[in-house]
Structures are given as structure tokens and as C-alpha cells.
Structure 1
Amino acid sequence: MDTAGRIADVMRRPGAYEIRTLEQAIAFFGGFDAATGFDLLRGFREWLSRHGGDGPNLTWAYQVSRVVAGQVSPDAGEEARIAEFFRLVRMFLAAAE
């Protein structure tokens, strides 16, 4: 499976990859990014800072946590938080194409 196919599969079935929390999703994508030589999410940190993050000098993982917290009700649960993170990743990847 190619990178795009694997990402789509992870986002479609996060539980199959043992992703149950936002933190696990962030860690998974951090590892996936490392496995691609940090090409997958190159520029994500800067993109997030332009789309509601706290600034380009902060890690993308921290910015994701802040953006998700601002977009998803605390009562919504982990599935909603993970879905919002995946939405951000999809938007970034679409913009990067």
C-alpha cells in the first residue's frame, strides 16, 4: 500500500491501528512522518499557525492539540477529537498538492 492509501486507511479505521485517543493519533502521524523522512508533514507546523495555531515556533503536535480543543467540545469525546485532527491533516495535504 502506498503512503496515500495507508493514510486513507488509518483515517477510515483508526481503531485497527490502535488509535483510540488524539494523543495516539498525533504520535502515529509523527512516526509516519519520520518514516517518510519528515516529508509527509513538511510545512504542517507553519500551515497550522496560519489556520488557528499559536505560532510557527511551536511544535505541530502542540498546535494540533490547541486547534482541536478550540474546535471540538470537551464533551464530544475522543472520536470527535481524532476526526478533527484527521480533517486538519486532510486539509493540509490537499493544500500541499
Structure 2
Amino acid sequence: MYVGRINYDAVTAYLNGYDYACGGALLNGLRQWLTDTNQVGQNLMWSAQVAQVVFPAGRLTEPRSEDEHRHAVAGLFTLLEEFFQHLADRDDATPKTG
């Protein structure tokens, strides 16, 4: 994925657009998984939930520094990898009929 400069907002916008193009299939269940596994506010968008996990001390002031954007993006991809692994594990545990 190419988004130019590393910017958390640009990366999350890209992922939202990709998810929309996939009919919501890419990130389906992410908000609930974040709520269940990280005890973040269920009334938040997934991008705000990720920010809560990555920056547990509280909301950052704007504008964010380049280091904060890099840290947020790295944390986002770590959480996405965990989420996709959760989905794969769940699918592997589902009995196959045939």
C-alpha cells in the first residue's frame, strides 16, 4: 500500500476506502474485536479504538508529530495482523461439512 508520507489519518482513510470497495468484508468485525480484546470504547470508530490502544495515556494533541504518526501506523498494522490471525484461527476451528 502506498499513501505517501506516513500519516495515520491517510492510512485509515485508505483502509476505509478499500473496505468500502470490498463491500465491508475487509474490516467486518474489527470494531467488536477491538472492544472485546482491548477494552476500548465500543461507541468509537475502529480508527479511534486503535488510537486508544496505541496511545493508552490519552488523546494526542494535534498536529501529531511524524514519530507519533509512525507509532500509530505501526500499532495499527500490529493490531490488524492480530485481527486477521483471529479470523483465520476462528475459520480453522469451524467444522467443515461436505
1:70 and 2:56 equivalent?
Answer: yes
TM-superposed deviation, 1:54: 2.1
Query: Does the 8 Å contact 1:20/1:78 carry over to 2?
Result: yes
* Structure of higher RCO (CA pairs closer than 8 Å, 6+ residues apart): 2
Query: Does the 8 Å contact 1:48/1:60 carry over to 2?
Result: yes
Aligned residues: 81
Q: Any unmatched runs of 5+ in structure 1? A: 1-9, 11-15
Residues 11-90 of structure 1 mapped to structure 2, 5 A cutoff: 16-70=2-56, 76-90=67-81
Query: How big is each residue's C-alpha offset from its partner over 1:19-60, in whole Å with a ceiling of 9 and x where there is no partner?
Result: 521111111111111111001010000000012242333221
Query: Does the 8 Å contact 2:3/2:10 carry over to 1?
Result: no
What is the rounded CA distance, in whole Å, between the counterparts of 2:49 and 2:28 in structure 1? 15
- Residue matched to 1:13: none
Q: TM-score, normalised by structure 2?
A: 0.70
Question: Which segments of structure 1 move beyond 6 Å, counting only runs of 4 or more?
Answer: none
Q: Any unmatched runs of 5+ in structure 2? A: 89-98
Q: Which has the larger radius of gyration?
A: 2
**RMSD, matched Cα:** 2.1
More helix by share: 1
